[in-house]
Structure 1
Amino acid sequence: MRDKKNNNIDNEEREFNDMFTDLKENKLKKTVRKAKWKSIFRTTIISMIVVIILGVSANLIARNITQRQRGDIQIARDRFFEIARPNKYIGKRKIYDGSSFGGKTIYTTYKLINGKVVFTGEESYTYGPRYGLHTDIMGTSSPMILAQAWDEEDAKEVRYNELGQRRMVFYYPYISYRYYRNDLSLLEDIDQDKYVEIALSFDKAYGFDEMENILPKDVITTWYWIDDLNDEEKEEKKEEERIRTNENEEEETYINPAKVCSEARAYGIKLFDRDGDKIQDPIDRFVSSLERGLDDDTFYKDEFTRVFENIAGEDKEIQRKDIKIQGAVVTGTAEELKKLRNLPFIRASTLGIVTDKY
């Protein structure tokens, strides 16, 4: 009986111990599980905070880069318009910066014809880490009537922009062309309630100070076309005989026409600012824009460098005497511009925009 009683006691103690052990294990498991979930929750929160911080930081950095690059290309574009684009200026800008990477700016352009603003279209460029500093136009295609004139064969025909405005053309003074445009002869057909823009090409390159005594005083000169080419580039503009293989695989000679300069590819000095006020020292303004353009890290830099080096020469410094003028743009009424007819130094003239006075 005693053994049986002792066995019962042992069994009860064992059951009690097992029960206590189970309670301890359950409590430990709950504690461990709770600690595990706390750790997961804490890690998740920390990860989310880190992701948010990194995302905000990356966005701020990208926006800063985008804005800086937008500013760089905008300044370069403004400087480019100071050394090119006869009578043309940048108007209203619409800026579209992306939420993080890249952006786009669309801007209008206009010309001043005797002080009157004439809309000439829209242009655009993209920028930012995603795009780099380049325009968003990867290429263009248009009918010939809307294309630029590249050589004297092209220049025989009138070219227009998309708004139906005539494109002006210049003829290089060191080339003897087979054909010259004389649009001054068209003035008889233009009403006196119109303002006219005409590009003049001279017989040679003149110094800046000489121009004061060449063009009539009562004709408004708005822009000077300058010589921006070196000797090698000038040779490339001349008429040339070339040999090609025809469809019968026979060699034949053909004439590559002499090149002309469309207004979109001409460099020169603006005499009026974008508000129509006369610039007091146009050469200084031109040279300043050109020199500052040398430091621009944009797609314009190569052209700024080429033009600067060709004008400056070996001394790497542009002085007043280095500026050679080979053409001009003038504006006025048809009657006022008739004074230019038969002047011996004008080799060619091409009509630009004709607009109502009011």
Structure 2
Amino acid sequence: MNDFSDDLYLFDEKKIKKAVRRGKMKTIIITIFVSLVVFVILNIANLAISSHFSQKAFNQWDAYVRLSTPNGYISETVDSRGVLGGISNYEISKDFKIKSVVIEQKQYSFGLIPSVLTSRSSGGNVGITGEDWQFSYKENGWREMLFFHPNVPYKQYKDDEQLINGMQGDKVYEVALSFDQPYKPNELFIQLPEMTWFWIDTYSSEQLNKFQKEAKENDWSSTFIREKDALGFSINTPYISLHDLDSEYEQFLDLLQMSISPDHQNAFNKMKDIKLEDVEILGVVVYGTKDELKEILENPIIKASSLGGVIENY
């Protein structure tokens, strides 16, 4: 009887150990399965969240570029994604109407946990002695254009007409033109052809007072409005009328509201109730060869001219 009980005990112990092993294996399998499911779900969620913020950041930065880079736009982006965010490397191009040219490469971060951006640079400034204009250069070597507000009495104005006339070859030049006074759209079309981008008066009275103070107190070589601070919009037709500008102006307001820059948000608040016919245009950007620009640069409404990009005419 005892031997039978001992055998039964041993048999039960083996069954228990086997059941335990099966339980452990089942637990491991369930754990692995749950972990895989959670991993997949988290990756899908991370991808969805990152994609959402990536698209939102692109819209904001593309709006910023289109507003502050005459005829500029983001032509390509490459995202490097991490946890709930990442970094986007992007190219800025300019539409010269006959072709587009990449001018700069930059980065921005995006997401709930945006990546930290670090940058290093070296080099010098142009015109730091006060003997020349203190302009900056883009990454592709083009000069950033200078603008001059017609309601600011500057000590000196940029005039690149002789520089352009001295250029060799049949090239196409990008030139920023600042006017002698603000013009309404219907006034401007009568006087100047070949316009590709309009510089709009979005400045507050505080900003204008700042420009006037700087022009009075600072050296002439540093008193102007840099390209990135001159807000405007492009046009896509050579035949311009108020009707042609309606959609571009509405898009301009949308971009101001969408842009990553708080200054652009402030500009939207100033411009949102202003109709197109009441908009004040302070300057334009034109493209053309030397011969095409000659008559434009001699127009009496032009107060200043600043050369930007130069491309081959093909």
TM range (shorter): 0.7 to 0.9
3-state SS of paired residue (2:179)? strand
Which residue of structure 2 lines up, in the alignment, with residue 13 of structure 1?
none
- Work out whether residues 224 and 327 of structure 1, in 8 Å CA contact, stay in contact via their aligned partners in 2: yes
Structure 1 segments unaligned to the other structure (5+ residues): 1-15, 242-253
Distance 2:131 2:48 in 1: 46
The counterpart of 2:153, out of the listed 168, 176, 185, is 176
Map 1:1-358 → 2, pairs under 5 A: 16-17=1-2, 19-91=3-75, 93-96=76-79, 98=81, 101-113=84-96, 115-131=98-114, 137-138=117-118, 141-145=121-125, 156-215=133-192, 217=193, 220-239=194-213, 255-256=217-218, 259-272=223-236, 281-291=244-254, 294=257, 296=258, 300=260, 302-312=262-272, 317-358=273-314
Please provide the CA RMSD for this pair: 3.2
Structure 1 residue 285 displacement after superposition:
2.4
Distance 2:156 2:43 in 1: 59
Structure 1 residue 48 displacement after superposition:
1.4
**Greater CA radius of gyration, 1 or 2?**
1
3-state SS of paired residue (2:143)? coil
For 1:264, give the aligned amino acid: K
Structure 1 residue 343 displacement after superposition:
3.1
Describe the shift of the 1:203–1:336 C-alpha distance in structure 2 as closer, same or farther (beyond 3 A).
Answer: same
TM-score, normalised to structure 2, is 0.85
Distance 2:203 2:79 in 1: 37
Describe the shift of the 1:309–1:120 C-alpha distance in structure 2 as closer, same or farther (beyond 3 A).
Answer: same
- Work out whether residues 87 and 112 of structure 1, in 8 Å CA contact, stay in contact via their aligned partners in 2: yes
Describe the shift of the 1:71–1:158 C-alpha distance in structure 2 as closer, same or farther (beyond 3 A).
Answer: closer
Distance 1:90 1:277 in 2: 26
For 1:163, give the aligned amino acid: N
Matched residue count: 311
Describe the shift of the 1:239–1:160 C-alpha distance in structure 2 as closer, same or farther (beyond 3 A).
Answer: same
For 2:254, give the aligned amino acid: E
Structure 1 residue 341 displacement after superposition:
3.8
- Work out whether residues 106 and 123 of structure 1, in 8 Å CA contact, stay in contact via their aligned partners in 2: yes
TM-score, normalised to structure 1, is 0.75
Describe the shift of the 1:300–1:158 C-alpha distance in structure 2 as closer, same or farther (beyond 3 A).
Answer: closer
Identical aligned residues as a percent: 27
Distance 1:90 1:32 in 2: 68
For 1:51, give the aligned amino acid: S
Structure 2 segments unaligned to the other structure (5+ residues): none
Distance 1:144 1:178 in 2: 25
Describe the shift of the 1:201–1:237 C-alpha distance in structure 2 as closer, same or farther (beyond 3 A).
Answer: same
